[in-house]
């Protein structure tokens, strides 16, 4: 049976000092290893020692970097806000320009339509004025022609030689057409009838309001027929006798008078 030797005081102190030194070294190695693991791709003891020594410095450097990152983020946000504002302004300007263009186009279209309408109205007015002027000219020409014809009749139809009242009072009966057939020679009757039909439509009291011509023969003035009979206003016999005498003395016959009438529309 062995007996353990009792350590001396100096040996105890030496062993205690060794244990303390060993613990401290272990702690240092563990801390260094931990730092080495945190560092990227650097496993040398020197690097680990350097990182461990620079850890406080890294912490102090991280604060300015964080501030710089925050400032960059703020600037980016401000730039984005400015870009959005510029885009909105550009879009508003584009919409305003489009609206102005549409209004200008509508205004131009309305003006063109108004101009076209005004031109059409002016053309219609000019046409109406031209038509009215032409109508007035035609009316004036017709009146001048009627006046000329009336003057010609007045000059040509001189008072015929008077006949005896008994001649006018000879017995004739029937309508004016039937009486004319009894007075006018058969070969001249149709020509005579053509003139009377167009002058008075066989109306004994026919009166031309513009010239004053009167009766079956449209004598101008009607009082000329008094050379045949005083009853010239109402008696077709008197009017027919005067007309036949006038045609014979002025044109030679009723048919010659009819030929003249067809060329001049009067006799």
Please give the pLDDT value at position 194: 97
Is the pLDDT reported for residue 231 higher than 50?
Answer: yes
| Cα 214 from chain centre | 58
Instruction: Tally Cβ neighbours within 10 Å of residue 134.
Output: 10
Please give the average per-residue pLDDT across 72-96, as a whole number. Answer: 85
Condensed to tens digits (0 to 9), the pLDDT of residues 132-151 reads 777 776 766 666 566 556 55
Length reported for the chain? 267
Q: Report the pLDDT averaged over residues 49-65.
A: 54
Q: Which residues contact 165 (CB under 8 A, 6 or more apart)?
A: 229, 230
CA distance 71 to 232: 131
**Lowest pLDDT segment from 15-19, 44-48, 107-111, 202-206:** 44-48
Confidence band for 26, pLDDT divided at 50, 70 and 90? low
pLDDT score, position 248: 97
Q: Can you give the pLDDT at residue 5? A: 59
C-beta separation of 226 from 220 below 8 A? no
The mean predicted confidence, pLDDT, of the chain is 77
Range with lowest mean pLDDT among 29-33, 211-215, 250-254: 29-33
The model's confidence at residue 162, banded by pLDDT at 50, 70 and 90, is very low
Non-local (6+) Cβ contacts of 129 within 8 A are: none
pLDDT of residue 104: 83
Task: Output the pLDDT for position 145.
Answer: 63
Query: What does the pLDDT average to over 48-59?
Result: 50
Average pLDDT over residues 60-64: 59
C-alpha closest to that of 223 among 154, 144, 130: 154
Under DSSP, the state recorded for 206 is -
Which residues in 204-233 are b (16+ Cβ under 10 Å) and which e?
bebebeebebbbbbbbbebebbbbbbebbb
DSSP 239-253: HHHHHHHHHHHHTSS
The pLDDT value given to residue 137: 67
pLDDT for res 261? 97
Predicted confidence at residue 143, as pLDDT, reads 63
pLDDT exceeds 70 at position 7: no
The helix (H) or strand (E) run that includes residue 106 is: helix 45-156
CA pair distance 9, 5, nearest whole angstrom = 13
Q: What contacts 170, CB < 8 A, 6 or more positions away?
A: 237
Candidate ranges 46-55, 168-177, 221-230; pick with highest mean pLDDT: 221-230
Report the pLDDT averaged over residues 121-134: 82
User: Given this model, what pLDDT does residue 168 score?
Assistant: 45
């Amino acid at each position: 049976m062995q007996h353990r030797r009792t350590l001396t005081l100096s040996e105890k102190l030496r062993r205690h000092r060794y244990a303390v030194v060993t613990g401290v070294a272990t702690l240092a190695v563990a801390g260094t290893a931990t730092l080495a693991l945190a560092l990227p791709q650097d496993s040398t003891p020197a690097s680990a020692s350097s990182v461990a020594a620079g850890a406080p410095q890294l912490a102090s450097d991280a604060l300015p970097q964080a501030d710089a990152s925050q400032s960059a983020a703020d600037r980016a946000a401000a730039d984005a806000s400015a870009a959005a504002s510029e885009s909105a302004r550009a879009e508003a300007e584009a919409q305003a320009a489009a609206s102005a263009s549409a209004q200008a186009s509508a205004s131009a279209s309305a003006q063109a339509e108004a101009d076209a309408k005004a031109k059409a109205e002016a053309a219609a007015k000019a046409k109406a004025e031209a038509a009215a002027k032409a109508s007035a000219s035609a009316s004036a020409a017709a009146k001048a022609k009627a006046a000329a014809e009336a003057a010609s009749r007045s000059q040509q139809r001189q008072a015929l030689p008077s006949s005896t009242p008994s001649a006018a009072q000879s017995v004739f009966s029937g309508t004016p057409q039937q009486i004319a057939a009894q007075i006018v020679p058969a070969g001249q009757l149709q020509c005579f009838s053509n003139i009377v039909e167009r002058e008075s439509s066989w109306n004994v009291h026919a009166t031309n309001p513009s010239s004053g011509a009167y009766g079956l023969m449209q004598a101008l003035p009607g009082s000329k027929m008094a050379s045949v009979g005083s009853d010239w206003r109402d008696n077709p016999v008197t009017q027919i006798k005067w007309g036949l005498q006038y045609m014979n003395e002025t044109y030679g016959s009723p048919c010659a008078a009819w030929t003249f009438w067809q060329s001049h529309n009067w006799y």
